[in-house]
Amino acid sequence: GINQVQSSVAEYPEAITYLLEQYDKYEAEQLRLSDIISGFIDPNETDDVAPTATHIGSELSEEDLADEDEDEDEDEDGDGDDSDDDGDGGPDPEVARE
């Protein structure tokens, strides 16, 4: 689905022009690379399909599930930031340049 859409959009000349303009802005440090690229797929990487679930549901009690939800609301590092990373979180510029 998504790869087919990306492939067809990639052949549209105005989309290519826009992408190149955005990359020029990235090189001029006006944009972050993650503002341009939101997903990065290596076409040479083998697809490791995750095993499918045979049992849907939880074996935890309702009380344990409620406790788990409360734990997710707490911030472990106490800075009020939900992010786990300190960087920009975007793709590696060297890999994207290839």
- Mean residue pLDDT of the chain comes to 72
Encode pLDDT of 7-45 as tens digits.
Answer: 888 888 898 899 899 999 999 999 888 888 877 666 677
Domain presence at residue 17: yes
Domain presence at residue 22: yes
Give the domain extent around 4: 1-42+93-98
Domain presence at residue 84: no
Q: What is the mean pLDDT of residues 46-51?
A: 65
Query: Tell me, what amino acid is at 16?
Result: I
| pTM given for the model | 0.41
For the record, the structure tokens of 58 come out as: 């939880």
State how many domains the chain has: 1
Encode pLDDT of 58-86 as tens digits.
Answer: 666 667 666 655 555 555 555 555 555 55
Q: Cα-atom radius of gyration of the chain, to the nearest Å?
A: 20
Domain presence at residue 4: yes
Asked if pLDDT for residue 51 goes beyond 80, the answer is no
Domain presence at residue 15: yes
In 3D, which of 86, 98, 96 has the Cα closest to residue 33? Answer: 96
Contact 60, 68 (CB under 8 A): yes
